[in-house]
Amino acid sequence: MTEQSDPAIVTVGLRKAYGEHVVLDDADLRVPAGSVYALLGPNGAGKTTTVNILSTLVAADAGTATVAGHDVARDPDAVRAAIGVTGQFSAVDHLLTGRENLRLMADLHHLGRARGRERVEELLERFGLTEAAARPAATYSGGMGRRLDLAMTLIGTPRVIFLDEPTTGLDPRSRREVWRFVRELVRGGVTIFLTTQYLDEADQLADRVGVLDDGRLVAEGTPDELKRLVPGGHVRLRFADADGLEAAARALAGSTRDDQALSLQVPADGSLASLRDLLARLDAAAAEVQDLSVHAPDLDDVFLALTDRSASRKAPPA
């Protein structure tokens, strides 16, 4: 078998529409085994639909998808045996305890009594749930529920894991916990396909990022490649009054002004030389700067640049 070198997920021309509404339009994806792929996009961009198709929940209208070497449409059971899915909301049985939830999963994976119990205790320990194991899941906090959900996903030792917005609604500490688990899993050789609306999450975790907007994959690459798509960083200047802004805007061609915030955004690569030059020009124009900040390009810039473009393509904002 050449599973290791084969990509974990491949889609070609994947398409899905609900009635007139196209939610996924001709998506081509390729996720190497053992990597983390983040699908980034605003609400309604088609992220969950993509996960639903890849995890055999929904059939695509057109195109093909292969997960762990199996076609999702022709051999869904083989795909199911290879994947683990954590949906957008903690899908746990709230009436059962944490341990009972995990045992249910172990039984459904036919692990056998002894091995199942062993695996359950191991996962409780790993996800810090041993103490809470005998309590009903309904009493768990958001972070604990997510951890239980993840543990349930891992019971069957899946090779490909789908995480649909795994940290939405979590507090910062729980988010970091989820990130830590994701990194651990990747070290173990698992492929992770996650969706997120948080750019820092994709930046932190993903080897490759796909930007999904309105059902279309508008950009794809490593976080660094994507950042290179938008021209450099910028310096943001704030002024005490409109006169200062006016003077500076005249002196700095190519800058973007915001009259309401009394601020000016000047493209800059963040080097000391460019800053010195900028300050000299401001001095020459006698523009009084109240506040200055340097912004390195991040995925936010990429995201806004890419999704703005398509937003203006559609309809002007009300």
Partner 1 sequence: MTTIVRAATDSSTMLRRNLLRMVRYPSMTLMLVGMPIVFLLLFVYVFGATLGAGIGAGGSGTDGRTAYLGYVVPGILLMTVAAAANGTAVTVSMDMTQGLIARFKTMPIARVAVLTGHVVGNVVQSLIGVAVVLGVALLLGYRPAAGPLGWLGATGLLALIAFAMTWLSVALGLVAKNVESASNLPMPLTFLPFLGSGFVPTDSLPVGLAWFAEHQPFTPMIEGVRGLLSGTPVGSAGWLAVGWSVLISALGYLWARRLYDRRTG
Residues that bind partner 1 (CB under 8 A): 52, 55-58, 77, 80-81, 83, 85, 87-96, 100, 104-105, 107-110, 136, 152, 156
Tokens read off for 304: 């806004």
Compare residues 158 and 223 and give the one whose CB is closer to partner 1. 158
The nearest distance, CB 63 to partner 1, in angstroms, is 19
The nearest distance, CB 270 to partner 1, in angstroms, is 44
> Which of these, 224, 225, 289, lies nearest to 255 by C-alpha position?
289
Place of tokens 């061609």: 253
The nearest distance, CB 114 to partner 1, in angstroms, is 16
Do the Cβ atoms of 58 and 47 come closer than 8 Å?
Answer: no
The nearest distance, CB 89 to partner 1, in angstroms, is 5
Compare residues 110 and 173 and give the one whose CB is closer to partner 1. 110
Compare residues 89 and 284 and give the one whose CB is closer to partner 1. 89
Compare residues 101 and 255 and give the one whose CB is closer to partner 1. 101
Give the C-alpha separation, 83 to 51, whole Å.
Answer: 11
Do the Cβ atoms of 103 and 120 come closer than 8 Å?
Answer: yes
- How many CB atoms within 10 Å of residue 30? 14
Say which residues have a Cβ less than 8 Å from residue 59's Cβ, sequence separation at least 6. Answer: 53, 73
Compute CA distances 260 → 158, 240, 264, whole Å: 52, 12, 11
Compare residues 104 and 275 and give the one whose CB is closer to partner 1. 104
- Taking the chain, what is the end-to-end CA distance rounded to the nearest angstrom? 55
The nearest distance, CB 44 to partner 1, in angstroms, is 16
The nearest distance, CB 279 to partner 1, in angstroms, is 55
Compare residues 96 and 247 and give the one whose CB is closer to partner 1. 96
Do the Cβ atoms of 13 and 60 come closer than 8 Å?
Answer: no
Compare residues 91 and 229 and give the one whose CB is closer to partner 1. 91
> Which of these, 218, 216, 199, 201, lies nearest to 306 by C-alpha position?
218
Q: Assign residue 254 a region: left if phi > 0, alpha if psi is -120 to 50, beta otherwise?
A: left
How far is it between the farthest Cα atoms of the chain?
79
The nearest distance, CB 312 to partner 1, in angstroms, is 33
